[in-house]
Amino acid sequence: MMSDHIQLEKGQAPWSPTSETNTVSTFHFFTIPLVGLIEQHECLYVYWCVVGHSGPENAWAYARIDKAEDAEELGQSDRATFTERLRRLVAGRVCTFALASDDSGITEWVTLDPPASFDDAYNRGMSELSQKIEEVMAEMESIQEQFGSLRAASTFSLAPSSVL
């Protein structure tokens, strides 16, 4: 299954977003992996922590790459060139943006169509997640309006019938 879209599962660690994900390389590590290369279904994806590196909540991005050698340059980068190499590696690709927390793992995500970039992943991701949430809320309101009588019925109590 070849896809630009990475598979994510709620509750998983961002650096291992499904139980079938294999870690290929970790390029930057603080108290958790922050930048690395993972494989899913024979596809390679680079991931990076967009914001929240040392906090309990953080945002992550994922982009499919063509071959491991493209990402291995990151492992050979010094501090001065690391960010620029990552920026070039993910430029113009489909990007998946995800929110996660220490307690809950990955909680929500959205796919950012190209041209996604290293620099705009956070702003675009938060904007598109907000839009997604607004759409869900609008749908919920519509359902509540359509089935308003069910709410009234939900407060109705049943009393036992008398036996004849």
**Percent of the chain with pLDDT strictly greater than 70:** 88
Is the per-residue pLDDT at 125 higher than 60? yes
Q: What is the pLDDT of residue 155?
A: 63
The answer to pTM > 0.85 is no
Q: What is the per-residue DSSP string for the chain? A: ---SSPP--TTS-TTS-STT-EEEEEEEESSSEEEEEEEETTEEEEEEEEE-TTSSEEEEEEEEES-HHHHHHHHT--HHHHHHHHHHHHTTEEEEEEEEETTTEEEEEEEEEEEE-TTTHHHHHHHHHHHHHHHHHHHHHHHHHHTHHHHHHHTPPP-PPPP-
Over the stretch 60-103, which tens digit does the pLDDT of each residue have? 999 999 887 888 788 888 888 988 999 998 998 899 999 999 99
